């Protein structure tokens, strides 16, 4: 995988080529001060919302069972930065796309951060929704700091990247209709179920139709039209059997091979075994695999504490903090 291949898979590069075959989207330049805000490791204070301050109060715990909070103690307030012009452009774009959007940067979407959203969804209605996901996502940080990390031509200078916020019109996609397709030397060599964490009964029943539809879509719309001959593209097959392009990715380890391995995909082993593309999917509940995004989530106890769903955990936590404070004073 070369740096040029990574550059060619930026959304703003491929979207104009395949615009009529994918979901309507708008692209906004990402100002430098917004990039700096997204990379700031400080307290997570979300800009773009109506409540842009975070107040932290330091108070003593008076009793184990009767906790008193006081406004008289030292109070530290952190204020979120404001981006009025950028916020205005984002709001205008969201409204133009129907009021709900799927956000991403040049390459990645914050799929590893959906746990932090109130509805565990990447559906966004405002800039604050987008910022919350982006600031919580390692995928977004990778885009901003190490987009060429796994490239083979590390000795060559990094291309200049102009970062962009991509807003895609929100569409309710059924995960069982998504597939990842691997292309080598402009030949479709493999197709994988995109969501390998679930078994979908319709896939084995419609295996032949699905594979034929993807191959036809590739030969008519994608093949020889992209800038590279090695690449990965994601598609969605809707209930009417129509195939839509969802994303393009570099052909290399930076892209998840899902039910294949990169050794298989690069060795030529798959093309020797059969004429058409290899098609893999979960064949039963036994063959499903855990979601790779699970490792990015926080422990359940943290969720209970932050939401107040388990009062006993909160009491135990406050008791522990008091005990630690007493030990430190001694």
Give whichever of 69-73, 150-154, 159-163, 193-197 has the largest mean pLDDT. 159-163
Give the pLDDT band (50/70/90) at residue 115. confident
Q: For the chain, what is the largest distance between any 2 Cα atoms, rounded to a whole number of angstroms?
A: 75
Comparing 69 with 158, the larger pLDDT belongs to 158
Compute the average pLDDT of residues 282-301.
Answer: 56
CA dihedral sign of residues 324, 325, 327, 328: positive
* Residue numbers of the domain that contains 125: 24-45+82-169
- Whether residues 135 and 220 fall in one domain: no
- When mean pLDDT is compared across 57-61, 144-148, 277-281, the lowest value belongs to 57-61
CB atoms within 10 A of CB 303: 14
Phi/psi of residue 310, nearest 5 degrees: -125, 100
Total-model pTM: 0.78
Q: Are strands 75-79 and 187-193 parallel, antiparallel or unpaired?
A: unpaired
Q: What are the pLDDT digits (tens) for 295-306? A: 444 554 555 555
The domain total for the chain is 3
Cα distance between residue 193 and residue 163, in whole Å: 30
The reply to whether 165 falls in a domain is yes
Give the pLDDT band (50/70/90) at residue 197. confident
- Whether residues 190 and 323 fall in one domain: no
Pinpoint the alpha helices (H) of 177-248. Answer: 202-205, 207-217
Give the pLDDT band (50/70/90) at residue 71. low
Average pLDDT, the chain: 83
pLDDT at 271: 77
- Whether residues 40 and 164 fall in one domain: yes
Q: Is 209 helix (H, G, I), strand (E, B) or coil?
A: helix
The reply to whether 234 falls in a domain is yes
Helix (H) or strand (E) holding 280: strand 278-280
- Whether residues 155 and 194 fall in one domain: no
Comparing 302 with 181, the larger pLDDT belongs to 181
The reply to whether 60 falls in a domain is no
């Amino acid at each position: 995988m070369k740096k040029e291949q990574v550059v060619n898979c930026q959304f703003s590069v491929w979207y104009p080529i395949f615009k009529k075959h994918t979901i309507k989207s708008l692209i906004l330049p990402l100002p430098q001060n917004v990039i700096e805000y997204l990379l700031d490791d400080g307290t997570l204070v979300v800009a773009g919302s109506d409540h842009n301050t975070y107040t932290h109060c330091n108070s003593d715990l008076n009793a184990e069972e009767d906790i008193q909070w006081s406004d008289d103690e030292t109070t530290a307030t952190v204020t979120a930065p404001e981006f009025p012009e950028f916020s205005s452009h984002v709001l205008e774009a969201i409204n133009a796309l129907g009021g709900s959007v799927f956000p991403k940067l040049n390459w990645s979407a914050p799929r590893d951060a959906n746990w932090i959203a109130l509805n565990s969804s990447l559906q966004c209605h405002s800039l604050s929704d987008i910022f919350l996901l982006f600031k919580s996502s390692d995928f977004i940080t990778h885009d901003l700091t190490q987009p060429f990390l796994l490239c083979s031509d590390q000795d060559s200078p990094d291309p200049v990247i102009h970062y962009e916020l991509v807003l895609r019109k929100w569409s309710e996609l059924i995960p069982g209709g998504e597939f990842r397709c691997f292309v080598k030397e402009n030949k479709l060599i493999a197709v994988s179920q995109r969501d390998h964490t679930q078994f979908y009964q319709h896939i084995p029943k419609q295996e032949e139709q699905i594979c034929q539809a993807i191959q036809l879509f590739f030969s008519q719309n994608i093949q020889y039209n992209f800038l590279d001959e090695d690449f990965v593209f994601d598609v969605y097959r809707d209930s009417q059997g129509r195939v839509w392009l969802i994303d393009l990715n570099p052909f290399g380890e930076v892209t998840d091979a899902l039910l294949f391995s990169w050794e298989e995909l690069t060795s030529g082993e798959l093309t020797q075994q059969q004429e058409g593309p290899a098609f893999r999917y979960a064949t039963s509940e036994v063959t499903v695999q855990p979601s790779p995004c699970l490792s990015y989530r926080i422990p359940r106890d943290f969720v209970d504490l932050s939401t107040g769903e388990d009062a006993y955990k909160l009491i135990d936590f406050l008791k522990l903090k008091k005990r630690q404070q007493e030990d430190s004073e001694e």
